[in-house]
Amino acid sequence: MVHAFDPGYIAEPFVTLCKQYPDSLVYPLTQFRVEWGPIFHRGRLDGSARILVIGQDPAQHETVVRRILVGEAGRRVQGLLAKLGVTRSYVFINAFLYSVYGSVRAKTRQNPELIDYRNQWIDALVSGGQIEAVIALGRAADEAWKFWKQTSFGADTNIAYAAITHPTQPESSSKRGKVKLAAATKKMLQNWNVALQSLAPEVKHPDLLTPLILYGDSWNDGDRTAIPEFDFPAGLPGWMHEQDSWAKRSGADDLSKRRNITITVPKGVLI
């Protein structure tokens, strides 16, 4: 059986960017789970990406897989890209290299070293002239893009841009209350529809020519799309990219939960 995979960081400037990255001097331990290491991207680094997606920060599944947006948020965004006809020609980075612990202070967000390193990634991805649209997921991602636009290169670069509601905001804002969740989901999908209508004419080279079908008031079949195998490192077991209930932070207190990620092979995988 043939399995496609992401070859990783094999060309410059990404090789150097993965060798020389900020640590806890830039990402304070009181605000980030630096102990689990940085997680850099997901998607194409070969210059073929047409859409750049900026996320927020990695969670426990991303920590294990070493790629960003591989859980429910990733599947929702994968479906958003599919509505634009983009099924492969994309690249994802995060506003922050490390998982956020609590909240990020303004002083940290505005640290020139943090911003400069992130801008180097954006420079590298945009400089080839292939990126036709940029999507920011949530406030931290929108701020990251705005910081980049303040650079001389960013100011001189004209790319279609949309800042959209973070894909898991409905759950985080509703505390699982069904009525609140339904209303928040409807509001988010309306926000995404506005972005789709703005971006669709700007994506000139989709992977598939497809009519734009907007979201309804709730998730429908096909709105959430599986993350393709070619986005993951070689040898990753299939169940790690088919669902996202297999990794949990576990422990009796915050420190224990910070130290531990429990991985469980889902039911049905073993006979």
Condensed to tens digits (0 to 9), the pLDDT of residues 58-86 reads 999 999 999 999 999 999 999 999 999 99
The predicted model scores a pTM of 0.96
User: Sorting pLDDT into bands at 50, 70 and 90, what band is 268?
Assistant: confident
What pLDDT score was predicted for residue 57? 97
What pLDDT score was predicted for residue 214? 98
Confirm whether 227 is domain-assigned: no
The CATH number of residue 52's host domain is 3.40.470.10
Confirm whether 250 is domain-assigned: no
Cβ proximity of 93 and 136 under 8 Å: no
What pLDDT score was predicted for residue 1? 85
pLDDT tens for 134-163 read 999 999 999 999 999 999 999 999 999 999
Whole-angstrom CA distances from 13 to 63, 123, 154, 264 are: 23, 10, 18, 36
**β pairing state of 133-137 and 51-55:** parallel
User: Sorting pLDDT into bands at 50, 70 and 90, what band is 4?
Assistant: very high
Domain residues for 128? 14-219+233-243
Confirm whether 248 is domain-assigned: no
Confirm whether 64 is domain-assigned: yes
**pLDDT > 80? residue 205:** yes
- Report the C-alpha gap between 269 and 271 in whole angstroms: 7
Decide: residue 88, CB within 10 A, 0-12 exposed, 13-18 middle, 19+ buried. Answer: middle
Confirm whether 252 is domain-assigned: no
Percent of the chain with pLDDT over 70: 100
13: nearest Cα among 116, 112, 123 = 123
**β pairing state of 160-164 and 90-94:** unpaired
User: Sorting pLDDT into bands at 50, 70 and 90, what band is 195?
Assistant: very high
What pLDDT score was predicted for residue 245? 85
Confirm whether 138 is domain-assigned: yes
Confirm whether 269 is domain-assigned: no
Residues 6+ apart with CB under 8 A from 211: none
Confirm whether 8 is domain-assigned: no
**pLDDT > 90? residue 269:** no
Number of domains in the chain: 1
pLDDT tens for 118-138 read 999 999 999 999 999 999 999
